Every structure is written in structure tokens, then in C-alpha cells.
Amino acid sequence: MPGPAGPICLDCVRAGLRVVGDGEERRNEAGERLDAVSDLQAPVCEFCGRRERRTFLGFRRPLVRLRCAPRDAVICVDCLDSAGDALNLALRQ
């Protein structure tokens, strides 16, 4: 899946969805540490530039993001979900 600073592979999308789902640290196939961050001071998502969600009523909630520390890469749960949908669609065809 193409991204602004480079592609994200299917294995990283899968691992990332697990990390943001349960909050447990994991390693990708290259052995790099993947962890979930939701702190508003943590970097923004490289895909959409967000670090928070705004609700219909204007409330703000932290947006959970996946961080790959060795690559200094960050992607939010919404973009991971969209990437997973796109990759699943491509794999079915």
C-alpha cells in the first residue's frame, strides 16, 4: 500500500491492526518494534496528519496510532483500517 514516506506492506498492516486493537507491543517480520501510541504529544499519522478525532458535537478524542520506532513511522488506526480494506480488495482480484 503506497504511503507518503514509503509503502506499508500487508504484514505490517496486519500486525498494526493487532497492536492498535489490544495495545500490546509486537515485532514485524524485520524484527522492528511496533507499539501503539495515543498521547496527543506523539507524532501525527503520516497518511492523514491527524492525532485526534473530533466527534459530531466537537469533542476531541485521542486517535490511536501505530509507531515503528526504528523507521520513525506512524500510522493511525483509521488509515490502517483503510489500507487493510484496499489490500484485501486487491488480493481478492
Full-model pTM:
0.82
pLDDT in tens, 18-44: 898 888 888 888 888 999 998 888 899
Please name the residues in contact with 80: beta carbons below 8 A apart, sequence gap of 6 or more: 13, 16, 17, 20, 66
Name beta bridge partners: 26. Answer: 34
Counted residue by residue, the chain has a size of 93
Helix H segments across the chain?
10-22, 77-92
pLDDT of residue 1: 67
Residues 3 and 1: their CA atoms lie apart, in Å, by: 7
DSSP secondary structure letter of residue 79: H
Q: Where do the structural domains in the chain lie, given as residue ranges?
A: 10-76
